[in-house]
Structure formats: C-alpha cells, structure tokens
Amino acid sequence: MHTVKLGNQDIPVGKIVCIGRNYIEHIRELGNQPPDKPVIFIKPASSFIGEGGTIVIPPHSSDCHHEVELAVLIGTEAKNVDANNALDHVTGYAVALDLTLRDIQGTQKEKGLPWEIAKAFDTACPLSAFVPADQVGNPQKLQIRLTVNHDVRQDGNTGDMMRSVAELIAAASAYFTLEAGDILLTGTPSGVGRIVSGDQLLAEIEQVGTLSVSVA
C-alpha cells in the first residue's frame, strides 16, 4: 500500500485524479485549444514516489516532460458537490510533478487512443508531504516554481488557473465519487520540458513546501 504524509499521519493513497490544460500559457505552448470542460485523467497509486525519490523513465520513451502542480488531498467523500463548498472536502495540499512521456502521448493522440500509458507509469507522480489545508491561506494565490539542475524551468501562480481548485473538485465529483485519500492534481503552468538521466528537480509552492527528486 502506498501512503502519503499529512502531518504525523500516514494516509493511504487512493486514485490520483489529474487535470490537463488548466493554465492558458501552457495550453498555448503545446499548441492546444482551451477546453470547454476540464480535461480529466487518472494515475494509479503505483505511480507515486515521495521526497528524495528517483524518477525512472521507461525504456520505450525518449521524451519525458516535467509538469509542476499543486496537489489537493481529499479528506471527506465528495459526490456532485457545489464549487461553493468544495474546499470543505480538502484536508491538505502538496507539491506534485505530473510526468508525461510526450512521445508516447503524441503517438496515442494521433491514433485517437487514450494516453494514460504516457502519464501512469511507475514514478510518474512525485509528491511532497501534505500540509494541513488550514495552513494554506488561498489556494488561488500561490507562487509555483520548478528548477532543473538549478535552472528555472517553470515559474507561475495558481491564480493563473482557468478553473479554480474548488471548481475542479466540483467538476471531478460530477463524474465519480472522490473519496478520502484521493488526490487531485490541478494542472501546470507554462515552461514544461524534457528531463534526462542525472537531472535534479526541485519544485516549490508558496505556503505548501518543496519537493526534490532526481532522474535515474
């Protein structure tokens, strides 16, 4: 069983619900169109690694990209919730990386096939420890940053999200029940790029913490 830290608690990881195309500048850099509805996909718990972990890029890919994101830990069951009270279901926040095998994703898209295999591989979801939700003021006013080998790759603010954390929880809960231990990744700002063997990644989110991982 995979667990994440919330203070002194070990929380079993449920499903990892991810949101694509939630920052306009990131949408533009990949040549996509802003979606009418949230783009939702799921990573398995087996994709999780923690602080100090090692990313292992599968041998069938040569183009793995980093995407730094705010992660949200669900504390109580949410089904068909309204955005106005969606944050009541949040128990913590963390720093996350949504790793993407961009070459595999591109091939799957060209064939009109689902692309979870580009997002759900082992080590594809590094996560920091979670901080209690009440220690984070406004989740829509947080600086978010990623460096690779000390070079700044991504530098944005959660205020640039197309849809807020509360709106994303409401949207996801309309499709399936969010349960305690589920994690929501909220999209990435612009600046995504390739990582290779030997890279050192440091992700930071204001009031939330840091996440340091390396690439095997």
Task: Provide the token pair at 183.
Answer: 């994690």
**For 60-102, what is each residue's pLDDT tens digit?**
999 999 999 999 999 999 999 999 999 999 999 999 999 999 9
| pLDDT, mean of residues 145-174 | 97
**For 109-118, what is each residue's pLDDT tens digit?**
999 999 999 9
Give strand pairing partners of 16.
43, 183
**For 22-49, what is each residue's pLDDT tens digit?**
998 887 887 778 889 999 999 999 999 9
pLDDT of residue 114: 96
Q: What is the mean pLDDT of the chain?
A: 96
Contact 65, 195 (CB under 8 A): yes
pLDDT of residue 34: 84
Domains present along the chain, CATH in parentheses: 3-215 (3.90.850.10)
Separation between Cα atoms, residue 213 and residue 124, nearest integer Å: 11
Return the SS3 of 128. Answer: coil
